[in-house]
Amino acid sequence: MNASDLLLHLNNQQRVAVSAPREHFLVLAGAGSGKTRVLSYRIAWLIEKEKFSPQSIIAVTFTNKAAKELRERVRDLIGINQSDMWIGTFHALSHRFLCSNHMHANLPRDFQILDPDDQLRLLTHLMKGMNIDQKKMEPRQGVWYINDKKEKGLRPGHLTKSFCQVDQIWLRIYKVYQETCDRSGLVDFTELLLRVCELWHCKSEILSHYHKQFTNILVDEFQDTNALQYSWIRALSGEQSKVVIVGDDDQSIYGWRGAQTKNMQQFFKDFPSATTIRLERNYRSTLNILKAANTLISNNNDRLGKELWTKASDGEPILLYCALNAFDEARFVVNCIQLWEKDRKSLCDCAILYRNNSQSREVEEALVQKNIAYQIYSGIRFFQRKEIKDSIAYLRLIVNRNDDVAFERIVNTPRRGIGPHTLETLRQISYQRKITLWMASLELLQNEALSVHVAASALKRFIQLIDSLEALTTNMPLYMQTECILQDSGLWCMYSKEKNEKDQTRIENLEELINTTRQYYSHHSKDTDFVSLKSFLAQSSLDINIANGIQSQDSVQLMTIHASKGLEFSQVFIVGMEEGIFPSQFALKENHRLEEERRLAYVGITRAMKRLMLSYVKNRRIYGKEVSYPLSRFVKEIPDACIKKLHFHFQEKQLIEYKDKNNKGVMHDSGFSVAQRVRHVKFGEGVIMHITGYGEQTRLQVDFRKKGVKWLLAMYAMLEAR
């Protein structure tokens, strides 16, 4: 596509953003307004019209999915090869910078990325070796502490000793953790960015080189940047650089992990000539949904200001269902999905959103009961599955013997007689001598310091195994290396011995790993003559969409509202719209948190394309106690004209318009009704939550105060009405 054709497929606002003069500016892009389209066309415009080299453009995204989509769109527009583009997440681009400058960054050539799961695993083992009570000081808290300090640019040496004993212990843990990572050639996700910022600060000639190279900087989802990420962007922008940021302050929902909406205001202070271009036309939702979203978000203060509009029709009203309890709420959702499926519509076009993961239980039970397929979005990713982590650990240790995390994971996997006592001995030597576990193993064997001969023999065989695997596979193509290591390490045999469904799935995943390395090799061998195991391991740690995974069936999508950002669905359910649930109890105490919760509600609403359903319950059981929360203020802030209220008529088995606010349920032919209080001779007092069947087949679901939820046959239950 040539430059003149690029503007033909854009609306007026998009056209202005794509063809704007090379200056600093913000694209304030509302939900569903085509921001990815604008980003890809802007890159194409700079190359085709402004005649900039692809190597002069760097585009930063927040997710691997967004980076992949942006690369593919640019490629489809103007045919640029992936290897010519600097498009990726902060972490992926930082890794690329560090690989090119590893010596100046004080990193070994074979440094490896420590993903969040392995970061927690390493810290757990280190704290155990330091004899720290993990009941009082949890390793997960340590991860938060370390990442928070790194995001603020603070190394252990920058922190002054505190009078608080707990702070002193955390500082000591941070110091030991960082020493271990440096010794082992490991870099965690936050370290990737911090190490790059430090490299640029200390090596002005390297930063000057990148200033000259990257004259065009584009940043997606700018409202989600934290302090360290903004410092990264600010440092990379030289005198000749022009920075374009794309974002939406109304969709800033990650304050809990360091995102700062004030970075948008800071951008205009650091780049005072910057202007704003607004994208307000929405291509996703009906007018009624947009009216609800616009009115809701207008209750927030200090917004940059925009109002979504559409040429689409009003569409259906937003349905609001008042449920008696969580089970009734789940049944309502499932009944609606059954009607949707009956109309031969895809289940994958339905999404059930909730504020907290714990809210999914009742919905899952209702879906299972009706045999409706569903999938938990953002579940265990391919590279986070146990068998894949085990396999990757072998590959990592072959590349880098000093990788303590990989060593601990596989030293006795499959079991080879290296028990907890031997491992603890290795940890103590490693901690005391400040050497890696691999080096500690060599020292133990050389000094014949292991008292148990069997353990010494097993450890020696493990060392020999890793050395032999490297020697055997060094000159093999990547996929053949992987297959050989899976076979010779014993992993394949271990998972093949058991014939149950779980282990069979693991074998399928190992096959998929081989297939993934084959595809990776095939794809990247076009760009280079040598596809290294090291580069594949870095990609797998960053999880940059290199595994296809096993395709799932058409299914309803369940996820938190946070996880739904960037997605869209024809039919969306948001459950638990109650004060104390959404907004959360924490948010009710602080105004800035309440505004972020409102932005989260805005994100949830704007995921819906055609149909949106909200629900809340009169009584909900939380932590074993029955509570009654009022309707969420976020629902009350939506115009009444946008909403239609519903309740379920049990006897007629249909949804009817909600009219009686005091309705407590319709009497069933059994003589019982939903929400009725009853007493059982054995289980005590309870409340009827659900009734199914008629006559002798009537079954009652009763939530007993002391015994929990029970299903009972009405004719034998001997329930006493209260």
Bridge partners of residue 667, in order along the sequence: 673
CA–CA separation, 100 vs 106, rounded Å?
12
**277 neighbors 21 (Cβ within 8 angstroms):** no
388 neighbors 513 (Cβ within 8 angstroms): yes
Q: Which of 150, 598, 607, 621 is catalytic?
A: 607
Report the C-alpha gap between 569 and 508 in whole angstroms. Answer: 30
36 annotated as a binding-site residue: yes
Dump strand ranges (E) for 338-447: 350-354, 374-376
Instruction: Flag whether 604 is marked binding.
Output: no
Choice among 35, 331, 599, 621 that is catalytic: 35
> Strands, DSSP E only, in 465-624?
556-560, 569-574, 608-617, 620-622
- Shortest CA distance to 597 belongs to which of 631, 558, 562? 562
Q: 222 by DSSP, 3-state: which?
A: helix
**174 CB-side CA count, 13 A:** 25
Q: Is 474 annotated as a binding residue?
A: no
Based on the residue annotation, tell me whether 528 is a catalytic residue of this protein.
no
Q: Which two tokens stand for residue 213?
A: 């190279």
- The answer to whether 17 is annotated as binding is no
538 is in an annotated binding site: no
Tell me whether residue 607 is one of the annotated catalytic residues.
yes
Q: Which of 22, 36, 645, 710 is catalytic?
A: 36
Cα 598 to Cα 213: distance, rounded to the nearest angstrom: 41
Q: Is 315 annotated as a binding residue?
A: no
**How is 68-98 classified by DSSP, letter by letter?**
HHHHHHHHHHH---GGG-EEEEHHHHHHHHH
Q: Which two tokens stand for residue 405?
A: 């995390």
Among 69, 221, 387, 595, the active-site one is 221
CB 328 within 8 A of CB 364: no
| CA nearest to 716, candidates 665, 680, 668, 666 | 680
Catalytic residue of the set 251, 310, 425, 557: 251
Identify the active-site residue in 220, 387, 408, 483: 220
Active site residue 262: no
Burial degree of 570 (CB within 10 A; 0-12, 13-18, 19+): middle
Residue 17's closest CA among 3, 30, 7, 5? Answer: 7
31 is an annotated ligand-binding site residue: yes
d(CA 369, CA 463): 51
Asked about 221 being catalytic, the answer comes back as yes
For the question of residue 36 being annotated catalytic, the response is: yes
- 247 annotated among ligand-binding-site residues: no
220 is annotated as an active-site residue: yes
Which residue positions form the known binding site for ATP? 29-36
Q: Which residues are catalytic?
A: 35-36, 220-221, 251, 607
Q: From the annotation, which residues make up the binding site?
A: 29-36
